Amino acid sequence: MSSSKEEWRRKTLGPAVGRSPERQPAFHSDSGLELDAVYSPEDAAPPELDYHRDLGYPGEFPYTRGVQPNMYRGRVWTMRQYSGYATAAETNRRYRYLLEQGQTGLSVAFDLPTQIGYDSDHPQAQGEVGKVGVPICTLEDMQTLFEGIPLDRVSTSMTINATASVLLCFYIAAARLQGVGQEQLSGTLQNDILKEYIARGAYAYPPRPSMRLVVDVFKYCAQNIPRWNTISISGYHMREAGATAAQELAFTFANAIAYVQAALDAGLKVDDFAPRLSFFFVAQNNLFEEAAKFRAARRMWARIMKERFGAKDPRSMMLRFHTQTAGVTLTAQQPDNNLIRCTVQALAAVLGGTQSLHVNSRDEALALPTEESAQLSLRTQQILAHESGVADVADPLGGSYYVENLTNRLEAAALDYIRRIDGLAGAVAAIEQGFQTREIGEAAYRHQQEVDTGQRVVVGVNQYVTESPPLDNLLRVDASAAQEQVARLQQFRKQRDGRQVKAALARLEEAACSEANTVPVILECVESHCTLGEVCQVFRSVFGEQQGMAGV
């Protein structure tokens, strides 16, 4: 038996196979971490990371192995399929269908005009209404979206950022009309504007006033909606734009640090708001690296909150996150291959201890998912939960030499990036200098070079290419849906009290120009039947409009 890994290497990877260790082929993780042929105890806990030797147990600081002691034995992850398209009524039908099929939470996709604060009849909205999400311009739209769905008994996630506070107010007002008080609501608002400047582009106002709106939501929810997650700090979109796993961790947590500091600067106490912070990550194809990434993320966040911000409440240190499988990995060629990709990605998320999961559908490289495809994605989650055995044990990969090594190295690489961002005066200043965007762009370029040269195999695209028949019955959004949405919006405006609308918008402008919390005034506007576009136009007039970002 070998006395050390090096002795084993000399015996097996050197002369025994006719080549020296230096002549062995190079293998790397998706983040570019060089991979050894085998891992041993010294790799799992190297001396330079001595404090990681004691992994501890799930439910214990620093939560590497999970935030709950029994993880999925106590409660399986929330199955939250993301959807929204065409109209509020059409999306409502899809939500009812998914709930009937066993989905345990709702996740709302909004169309692009809604995301950046334009009503459906605005010239900038032309051609985009209802295409990649549901259009919500009015309280009436929000009522229709959740008609027949009791908002005191369902958890709702809303993927909305620049206009997050407005959509939250629509949701509160719709719940009130159901007889549900805001203190009964549970769910998550993405509300993560910084990643929009880095990778996604769905922003409306400049970064600094946008940060003010984020903190206003923190303040309002801390006092009025105790069960609501006020932000879902997202690495997903940066990874989709080409970031590595290490960059996804680093840039997400750098943004999180900026949000926490902004809330502290506004007078909030860390343990009053930090327990309601949540996160959103991607699961890509590299099963072990992705599982290790989630484990590293929990440990990083626990230490950041305890050591950097002095949090005392254990809930402030617990990383709770939603995961979505990787849209960027889906291929139009041989689309059935996407079923396998998404299953591997979902497995990585579960092995990594996610609290909530969305599995993409096989047809999403071609169109919005059909009902059949959405059901199959939900069934993927249900089979993993109830038939695979992966939910039977907390942190089943814990103690793996390889996984522990990846966990440590991803954490070290991410922390190095955070130190660089701190040196640029924090995430907002780094964004204004284009740092994160340039780093992601360089990583995306390297990835595409590997695909183009065949160094990185994409099955059905650059290897194992065959002609495959097109998928039948793709979902197409009828152009008449946008026309109907515009007609409803214009009728809504005709039926309201114009003087009440004008007065509410005037009060909003006063609040925006002062240091007052804008959320209560937005809620007044919503209940006075102001539209999304009208509220956002007030903010545009006060804060200005962001036209572009450095580094793009």
Instruction: Identify the structural domains of the chain with CATH numbers, from first to last.
Output: 51-453 (3.20.20.240)
User: What pLDDT sits at residue 27?
Assistant: 82
Mean pLDDT of 504-533: 98
User: What pLDDT sits at residue 47?
Assistant: 57
b/e burial code for range 161-200 (CB count within 10 A of at least 16 → b):
bbbbbbbbbbbbbbbeebebebebbbbbbbbbbbbbbbbb
Nearest to 474 by CA among 376, 379, 369: 369
The pLDDT-based confidence of 23 (bands split at 50, 70, 90) is very low
User: What pLDDT sits at residue 13?
Assistant: 62
Residue 469 DSSP symbol: P
Mean pLDDT of 441-467: 94
Mean pLDDT of 470-495: 90
Mean pLDDT of 427-434: 95
Query: Does the pLDDT of residue 156 top 80, yes or no?
Result: yes
Mean pLDDT of 313-320: 97
Mean pLDDT of 89-97: 95
Query: Does the pLDDT of residue 82 top 90, yes or no?
Result: no
79 near 104, Cβ under 8 Å?
yes
User: What pLDDT sits at residue 4?
Assistant: 72
The pLDDT-based confidence of 360 (bands split at 50, 70, 90) is very high
User: What pLDDT sits at residue 9?
Assistant: 67
Query: Does the pLDDT of residue 550 top 90, yes or no?
Result: no
Nearest to 85 by CA among 117, 121, 105, 114: 114
Nearest to 85 by CA among 25, 145, 28, 138: 145
Cβ of 279: how many Cβ atoms within 10 Å? 26
Query: Does the pLDDT of residue 51 top 70, yes or no?
Result: no
The two structure tokens encoding residue 290: 């992705």
| d(C-alpha 444, C-alpha 454), whole Å | 15
Query: Does the pLDDT of residue 479 top 90, yes or no?
Result: no
Mean pLDDT of 316-337: 96
For 408-424, how does the pLDDT look when each residue is reduced to its tens digit (9 = 90+)? 999 999 999 999 999 99
User: What pLDDT sits at residue 14?
Assistant: 60
Query: Does the pLDDT of residue 3 top 80, yes or no?
Result: no
For 175-189, how does the pLDDT look when each residue is reduced to its tens digit (9 = 90+)? 999 999 999 999 999
User: What pLDDT sits at residue 18?
Assistant: 39
The larger pLDDT score, comparing residue 14 to residue 238, is at 238
Rounded to 5, what percent of the chain is helix, strand, coil? 55, 10, 40
Nearest to 166 by CA among 131, 205, 208, 207: 205
Furthest CA-CA distance within the chain = 87
For residue 161, CA distances in Å to 116, 168, 550 come to 8, 11, 20
Nearest to 369 by CA among 552, 19, 187, 133: 133
Burial class (CB in 10 A: 0-12, 13-18, 19+), 49: middle
The two structure tokens encoding residue 545: 């409009």
Q: Please state whether the predicted TM-score (pTM) of the whole model is above 0.85.
A: yes
Least confident among 6-10, 172-176, 319-323:
6-10
- What is the gyration radius of the CA atoms in the chain, in angstroms? 24
Query: Does the pLDDT of residue 24 top 50, yes or no?
Result: no
